[in-house]
Amino acid sequence: MAMVNIRRDVEDKFYRYKMPLLQIKVEGRGNGIKTVVPNMEDIARALNRPPTYPTKYFGCELGAQTSMANDRYIVNGAHTADRLRELLDSFIEQFVLCPSCKNPETELVITGKSGHEDMHRDCKACGRQNGVNMRHKLVAYILKNPVKKKEKGKKGKKGGMTAEANVGGPMVFEKGAEDGSGEDEDASPSGTPAPGDQGVPTTGTDIDDVLGRSDPVLGNPDEAEEVSKKLAKTDLNGDDDEDEDADSPYALLGGWLEDNKDASDADIIEKIKEYGIAGKYKVLVEIGHHLFSDEVAKEITKRIPLIQALVTSEKHQKGLLGGLERLLALSPNSDALLAAGTTSKVLMELYQADILDEEFVKNWGTHVSKKYVDKEKSKKVRKSADAFLKWLDEADDESESE
């Protein structure tokens, strides 16, 4: 799926907020001609808005009828992809981006009594609240079709940062833009969101989570199909990290680490707590990927106490190595780094500090995985661990012959 920056005026390819490029399909002919946006749900999810909002926005701007039933998002008439992309940009500008800091991590919050509502964008990044143009036609639609705050329990995103932050808030459009698609008047006739809409954890941590949390919805054939589709996308290694939303607490932590590589261990731990993900193994993925630079072989030494504090299970070890694997594989200097045996040096540090178990690291070294990087890269990273793995084997032989 082609991804573009949510702010298409930003050309930086490392800009962290991405959405799928809007696609269209023109169907029918004559008076019945219509433009379908097949990936509207994915786009909306990236924007943390229900898919009905941008669709309705298109309708308002184009003076066209929209239809938003059965997860199909349609604007009547024939429209070009370019035109809809431009309109999407202006939807984002007016209803998503924080006008103060231009960050897309906002929620629409409605305050005031019926008939006198006010709506603003509540920015998670800078904390400011900015209004929207209350005269825009979409506002009336949103007021009529708000995403009510629901008790979601364990469903939806892990970490629960925003859910917690929202407690006591007035009426909040939750993270996880799928919420509320079922509340649209044009959508499901029952008016209640199907559990599958939000219950299928695309950001689950592993297959057990996915299977476990999917069970309750398997009763309904449609939902069962939906679940099996999602499961098909999730390979048995728990290879679901691509689905990680740009607004997940992990992505936020990664971004913060990237900008604060010099932060003290205490500050980093504070930040992890702030994001509500203390103790999670995925924290280690972010640490491995974003706290270090090409100089990781040197830098890792001073972070040993931090890593020791954070790694509490084999899963955490795996996460850490996954993150480091990404760091090494995705660096522009990857080949040189790997050729210099950087993986070996890093593993040695971690092993000597008792962060990695011998059995675990041997197993890791001999099993290529495409969970964190593609297979070829994964192979190269492990190849770069040869010296260390060989050393481990030899150390074993020596102790046996003694």
Which residue ranges make up the site for Zn ion (CB under 5 A)?
A: 98, 100-101, 103, 123, 125-126
Select 10 or 330, whichever has its Cβ closest to Zn ion: 10
Closer CB to Zn ion, 26 or 125, in the complex: 125
Strand-strand pairing, 118-123 and 129-131: antiparallel
- By C-beta, is 15 or 391 nearer to Zn ion? 15
∠ CA 14-15-16, rounded to 5°:
100
Which residue, 68 or 123, is less far from Zn ion as judged by CB? 123
Q: How far is the CB of 46 from Zn ion (least distance, A)?
A: 18
| Residue placing its CB nearer to Zn ion in the complex, 127 or 212 | 127
Least distance from Zn ion to the Cβ atom of residue 53, Å:
19
Smallest gap, in angstroms, from Cβ of residue 100 to Zn ion?
Answer: 4
Distances (CA, A) of 203 to 75, 181, 217, 352, 359: 30, 19, 17, 33, 29
Alpha-carbon distance of 318 to 338, in angstroms, equals 19
The amino acid occupying position 383 is: K
To Zn ion, the closest distance from the beta carbon of 175 in angstroms equals 16
**CA distances from residue 15 to 1, 89, 152, 168, 293 in whole angstroms, order as listed:** 17, 16, 31, 32, 18
H or E stretch at 108: strand 106-111
**CB neighbourhood size of 7 (10 A):** 19
At residue 343, what is the residue type?
Answer: T
∠ CA 352-279-348, rounded to 5°? 15
User: Which one, 123 or 138, has the nearer CB to Zn ion?
Assistant: 123
> Nearest distance from residue 63's CB to Zn ion, in Å?
32
Give the integer Cα–Cα distance in Å for 327 and 310: 18
Q: How far is the CB of 105 from Zn ion (least distance, A)?
A: 8
